[in-house]
Structure 1
Amino acid sequence: MEMAMNKTKESSFRMHPQKFAMWLFIVTVVMLFAALTSAYVVKQSSGVWLDFDLPFMFDITTGIVIVSSVFMHMAYLSAKRNEVSKIRIYLLLTVLTGISFLVGQLIAWQELVQEGVFFVGNPAGSFVYVLSGVHGFHLLSGVVFLLIVAVAAFKYKVHSTSLVRIEMCATYWHFLGGLWLYLYLFLTLNH
């Protein structure tokens, strides 16, 4: 009886090693952005801070990231239901909206340049470029992850009995979406 209880306890705390590694990576990214946003607040209080409007494209990319997260969730639900064609469609829509987000961020940077806000110069502009750029880099890695999972879906390797890849991808993608929402609100409220 004691051995059965220990075995139950042991199995209830198990996590797939790749999921564990992904969660460690997510914690690292959270710490990075906590440090960057803290540095933003500290530097802003120094008094030398350029006043400018955030790019309107940030509003649009925020909507795109929300839609993208919905597509990712639909892909995951389709995998749980073994709806293989829907998995593929929703993953590809997630990839397209992810790429649209990245293009939107580049357009936002162009808006900043047109407004006279550059990477080098006042720290206010530098922080906007760094925060959106580092997030964009992570989102690019998410798009690569999505493409890997999409290829697996086209090879019939993503379905109700093989969910680890799509679960990890969905978790990472939703995290990136939530991270952008945090950054958007942070920049809007602290600008």
Structure 2
Amino acid sequence: MSSILLFLSALLPIGMWWLLRQGVMSKPWLEQGVVEGLPGPPPTSAAKVGLGVFLAVIGSLFALFISAYAVRMQMPDWRDVPLPNILWLNSGMLLLSSIALQGARNAARDGDAMALKIGLLAAGVTALAFVSGQLLAWRQLTGNGYLLTSNSANAFFYVLTGIHGLHVLGGLAVLGRTTAAAWRGRLSERLKLSVELCAIYWHFLLVVWLILLSILAGWAGSFVEICRQLLT
């Protein structure tokens, strides 16, 4: 239960910030009169709202798995899985991918087509490196005898990292289409929106991965225990 609360508390500020940026929390019924000629925030895109709902569903899915993980690890037959060192390199690749997509997002906003193309390519390459590294981590674990059916901890490791990897692959499919559109066409508003959605999705996946990594490494439990001791 502590792990799921930690996960949700990490996602809540991000969700609130995103809603405020989209103007969803505004109260138009309290506005009086009509002021013309003044710039205002753009209307919330249906695609952005759809992405927000989709991310909420994904977050709930991971929260359920993390909750099950927290309950199952209390059983006496639980054996922790040693994390392969390559996971730290993989984390760096996903971080670089997120940074590159943010750069592409800024380039699209500024109308810099070349920087946009470079950012999208860099994000795709580093994301592929992340997925390849995750597969290599699986291979190292299975080679050392940590098979899927050997222990519940092994199964949870493969399930959590596998589901996250599938979401990265899904994002790569959309990113590939966006990159192809950027290279063959002009910088349209539709392309800018696609880049922005990819960046938001990538930032979300990065946050989810860092939370998963902290839980798999045991940092989350230690952090919760320290907070509990401080409060008592």
Query: Relative contact order: is structure 1 or structure 2 higher (C-alpha 8 Å, sep ≥ 6)?
Result: 1
**2:150 paired with 1:121:** yes
SS in 2 for 1:163: helix
- Which of 67, 74, 78 is the aligned partner of 1:38? 67
Coordinate RMSD, CA, aligned: 2.2
Give the TM-score of the pair, scaled to structure 1.
0.89
Which deviations, in whole Å up to 9, do the C-alpha atoms of 1:28-59 show, x marking residues without a partner? Answer: 00000000011001001111112331111111
Specify which of 113, 120, 133 is matched with residue 91 of structure 1.
120
CA contact (8 A) 1:74 1:90 kept: yes
Q: Which runs of 5+ in 1 are unaligned?
A: none
The Cα shift of 1:153 comes to: 1.0
Kindly tell me the number of residue pairs found equivalent between the two proteins.
187
Letter of the 1:25 counterpart: F
Amino acid aligned to 1:110: R
Query: Does the aligned pair in 1 maintain the 2:178–2:191 contact within 8 Å?
Result: no
Structure 1 position 138, deviation (Å)? 0.1
Distance in 2 of aligned mates of 1:112 and 1:120: 13
Q: 2: CA distance between counterparts of 1:181 and 1:33?
A: 12
* 1:132 CA displacement: 0.2
CA distance in 1, matches of 2:77, 2:129: 34
Amino acid at match of 1:22: L
Does the 8 Å CA contact 2:181/2:191 hold for their aligned counterparts? no
User: Which segments of 5 or more consecutive residues in structure 2 lack a partner in the other structure?
Assistant: 1-30, 222-232
1:55 equivalent to 2:93? Answer: no
Separation in 1, partners of 2:174, 2:131: 15
Tell me which of 51, 63, 66 is aligned to 2:95: 66
Partner of 1:100: 129
Query: In the alignment, which residue of structure 1 is the partner of 2:183?
Result: 154
Match of 1:189 in 2: 218
Structure 1 residue 158, shift from structure 2 partner: 3.5
What is the Cα deviation at residue 127 of structure 1?
Answer: 0.2
TM-score by length of 2: 0.74
Structure-2 separation of matches of 1:116 and 1:64: 27
CA displacement at 1:149 relative to structure 2:
1.1
Bigger CA drift: 47-56 or 132-141?
47-56
Residues 12 and 73 of structure 1, relative CA distance in 2, 3 Å threshold: closer
